[in-house]
Amino acid sequence: MPRYRLGELFCGPGGIACGASLADIGNQNYSIVHAWANDYDQDTCNTYIYNICPQSPESVICGDVRKLDLKMLGEIDALAFGFPCNDFSVVGEQKGFNGTFGPLYKYGAETLRIYQPQWFLAENVGGLASANEGSALQVILGELARCGYRIYPHLYKFEEYGVPQARHRIIIVGIREDLPYEFCPPSPKPYKDIVNTCKNALENPPIPADAKNNELTRQSAVVTERLKYIKPGENAFNANLPDELKLNVKGAKISQIYKRLDPSKPAYTVTGSGGGGTHIYHYSEPRALTNRERARLQTFPDSYEFIGSKESVRKQIGMAVPVQGAKIIFEAVLKTFAGIEYPAVPCNIKE
pLDDT on residue 31: 97
pTM metric for this prediction: 0.94
Query: What end-to-end distance do the CA atoms of the chain give, in Å?
Result: 33
Q: Give residue 217's pLDDT.
A: 86
Catalytic positions, written as ranges? 85
Give the contacts of 47 (CB within 8 A, at least 6 positions apart). Answer: 13, 14, 305, 306, 307, 308, 313, 316
Per-residue pLDDT of the chain (351 residues; tens, 9 = 90+): 579 999 999 999 999 999 999 999 999 899 999 999 999 999 999 999 999 999 999 999 999 999 999 999 999 999 999 887 555 443 334 355 555 444 788 999 999 999 999 999 999 877 777 777 778 889 899 999 999 999 999 999 999 999 999 999 999 999 999 999 999 999 999 999 999 999 999 999 999 999 999 999 888 999 999 999 999 999 988 889 988 998 877 655 667 789 999 999 999 999 887 667 788 999 999 999 999 999 999 999 999 999 999 999 999 999 999 999 999 999 999 999 999 999 999 999 986
CA distance 136 to 196: 33
The structural domain count of the chain equals 1
Q: Is 211 exposed, middle or buried (0-12, 13-18, 19+ CB in 10 A)?
A: middle
CATH label of the domain that carries residue 124: 3.40.50.150
In a domain, 173, yes or no: yes
pLDDT at 2: 72
Q: Is residue 259 part of a domain?
A: no
Q: How much is the pLDDT for 94?
A: 39
Domain limits at 173? 3-191+320-338
Flag whether 144 is in a domain: yes
C-alpha atoms less than 13 angstroms from C-alpha of 78 in its C-beta half-sphere: 25
User: Which segments of 70-216 does DSSP mark as H helices, in order?
Assistant: 105-115, 135-146, 198-203
264 inside domain: no
pLDDT value of residue 205: 97
How far apart, in Å, are the Cα atoms of 119 and each of 143, 181, 289, 348? 15, 10, 37, 20
Residues 6+ apart with CB under 8 A from 37: 7, 8, 9, 11, 17, 45, 48, 52, 53, 59, 60, 61
Q: State the burial class of residue 329 (Cβ atoms within 10 Å of its Cβ: 0-12, 13-18, 19+).
A: buried
Neighbours of 351 (CB within 10 A): 12
Residue type, 83: F
